[in-house]
Amino acid sequence: MQPTDSPSRAPESEAPSDFIRDIVAQDLKTGKYGRQLMTRFPPEPNGYLHIGHAKSICLNFGIALENNGICNLRFDDTNPTREDVEYVDSIQEDVRWLGFDWGKNMFFASDYFEKLYNYAVQLIKSGKAYVCDLTPDELIEYRGAPTVPGKESPWRNRSVEENLDLFARMRAGQFADGSKTLRAKIDMASPNIHMRDPALYRIRKVDHHRTGNKWCIYPMYDYAHCLSDSIEGITHSICTLEFEVHRPLYDWILEQLPVPRPQPQQIEFARLNLSYTVMSKRKLLQLVEEKLVSGWDDPRMPTIAGLRRRGVTPESIRHFCHRIGVTKYNGMTDIALLEHSVREALNKHAMRVMAVLRPLKVVLTNYPEGKVEEMEAINNPEDQSAGTRKVPFSRIIYIERDDFMENPPKKFFRLSPGNEVRLRYAYIIKCVDVVKDTKGEVTELHCTIDPDSKAGGATAGRKIKGTIHWVSSAHAIQAEVRLYDRLFTVEEPDSAKDGRDFKAYLNPAALETLQNCKLEPSLANAQRERRYQFERLGYFCLDQASQPGRLLFNRTISLRDSWAKEAQKQ
């Protein structure tokens, strides 16, 4: 079977186990909710999804699948200034591509604006919320610090009537941005800053990508999130660790309101941090806006769209997420682990072909002009059923420039003057002459073949140390090939020791474009959803911009981890 871009259904064979799944199993056993398990994946449509989101997607959709539950896709679109429909569309495409299905359960927090407003009115009526006139600066000053209690707002004890009137007028657009907020009335002396009368609504006179100009007050994340969970009937609200300190507020808001019980339970896990890349949407957006990459789907990006374009399969992302597991401790995951999952999947499925990326012409002087042989080549040694194909061989071939050295060091087992090498699926050749241009650069090699050294021939078994790949010149097809590597040169571009901006560590070698590559003719029919191993060079796929007359391949990943070798040397 070939890996494809079409959604393949999750989950993986064996369900993992972790502390969240333990909590879920316990709740299902005790029948805590008395209904179907329900999780949600709640992205804010302010950027493309990245590999960190994939961890959350695999967790939320995975747990639902394993327990006959439902996972909602909910757009957390409460901050209109940074959001866009482009992101709403890309998020759906990416979740689907990863292999997950929300059925009819796609929701938008903005669909709940009216309900959320009515809940706020209830909080005011029960004396749990008030309209505050402190300016943004004053709010910060009044909030205090972790060890210094906050100060109560002079507006804290407004009457219910006055609060209801002011809140209605906030909604009606009668006040300027930042001039008023609706705040929860909790405890300004709480050791948890999030409980010090947090803002629930603020005034923002900006259009929303779905509600247009209907609203000029927008709910804060903490207020909207717990209530959206409750409205949808979420049982387990899984989020990343930074929300642990928000949990008391999550619970408090739901406790004050006549919402169904038991309330959804918020559970936190450690977000994925990956070495040699950045994961913050703000920083990824910076790379896009400053044109340091070609877009959100640049194959160097850690975005799902970038990984897809690069040729990574959804299976390997799911495997990776499965492997790293779920914990409560923040840490850094080695990107080599992701690369390993990518190689593993491609090794199983990729079709082997021959391609020469930096061609050097070789004339086989004792091979008849005009003769063409069809050499039998194995499509995938990992998969017998993939069969074989014919690769044409003729008098002039291309080999890889660095498979030849005029003055080789001791252990160079490829081609050099007077030495022999085996051509994959073909003959043993010997280099007899080196042709150079006026600048002294090698332009072609003259070699002779051992005519009996083909598979099945009398000298086929001769011991030759090196085997190299090749492409027949007359039959070669031309392509542009883009070689990709890690986006950054350091493990933690976000917090490098010398304190420079993360962009200072962009890897200039993360993209190398080769124009004049020669591919075996079978690749004229290459398909976008297929994966190819160019023998000895790595795994490749067609780029989405590739066209029949103008082939464009991306290298998904090299065959071996060259960074590990580099690290060992140091």
- What is the dihedral sign for C-alpha 519, 522, 525, 530? negative
Residue 239 CB, nearest approach to ligand ATP (Å):
5
Pairing type for strands 396-400 and 471-472 reads antiparallel
Q: Of all residues in the chain, what percent are helix, strand and coil, respectively (each to 5)? A: 35, 25, 45
Active-site residue, selected from the candidate residues 271, 348, 390, 503:
271
Tell whether residue 281 is a contact of ligand ATP (CB under 6 A).
Answer: yes
Residue 275 CB, nearest approach to ligand ATP (Å):
13
Interface mask (CB under 6 A) for ligand ATP, residues 243-272, using x and -?
----------------------------xx
Terminal alpha carbon distance of the chain: 41
SS3 track for 392-425: EECCEEEEEHHHECCCCCCCCCCECECCEEEECC
Tell whether residue 92 is a contact of ligand ATP (CB under 6 A).
Answer: no
Tell whether residue 53 is a contact of ligand ATP (CB under 6 A).
Answer: yes
Give the Cβ contact number of residue 232 at 10 Å: 19
Tell whether residue 493 is a contact of ligand ATP (CB under 6 A).
Answer: no
Q: Specify the stretch interacting with ligand ATP by CB under 6 A; choose among 18-26, 30-38, 48-56, 198-206.
A: 48-56
Question: Which residue is closest to ligand ATP by CB?
Answer: 52
**Going along 319-462, which residue ranges are E strands?**
351-353, 355-356, 359-364, 373-378, 388-393, 396-400, 420-423, 428-436, 442-450
Of the residues 190, 240, 294, 394, which one makes contact with ligand ATP according to CB under 6 A: 240
Say whether 44 is catalytic.
yes
Give the Cβ contact number of residue 415 at 10 Å: 25
**Do residues 205 and 177 make contact, with C-beta atoms less than 8 angstroms apart?**
yes
Of the residues 12, 18, 27, 44, which one makes contact with ligand ATP according to CB under 6 A: 44
Q: Specify the stretch interacting with ligand ATP by CB under 6 A; choose among 44-52, 94-102, 228-236, 452-460.
A: 44-52
What tokens appear for 117 in the block? 């407003």
- The SS3 call for residue 433 is strand
Of the residues 24, 55, 130, 420, which one makes contact with ligand ATP according to CB under 6 A: 55
Say whether 271 is catalytic.
yes
Residue 68 CB, nearest approach to ligand ATP (Å):
22
Of the residues 168, 199, 279, 363, which one makes contact with ligand ATP according to CB under 6 A: 279
Of the residues 52, 314, 359, 538, which one makes contact with ligand ATP according to CB under 6 A: 52
- In sequence order, what are the beta bridge partners of 430? 420, 448
Backbone angles phi, psi at 435, to 5 degrees: -100, 135
Say whether 281 is catalytic.
yes
- In sequence order, what are the beta bridge partners of 238? 267
Q: Specify the stretch interacting with ligand ATP by CB under 6 A; choose among 43-51, 127-135, 315-323, 383-391.
A: 43-51
Tell whether residue 239 is a contact of ligand ATP (CB under 6 A).
Answer: yes
Residue type, 303: T
CB nearer ligand ATP, residue 54 or residue 483:
54
List of residues contacting ligand ATP (CB under 6 A): 42-44, 46, 52-53, 55-56, 239-240, 271-272, 279, 281
Residues catalogued as catalytic: 44, 271, 281
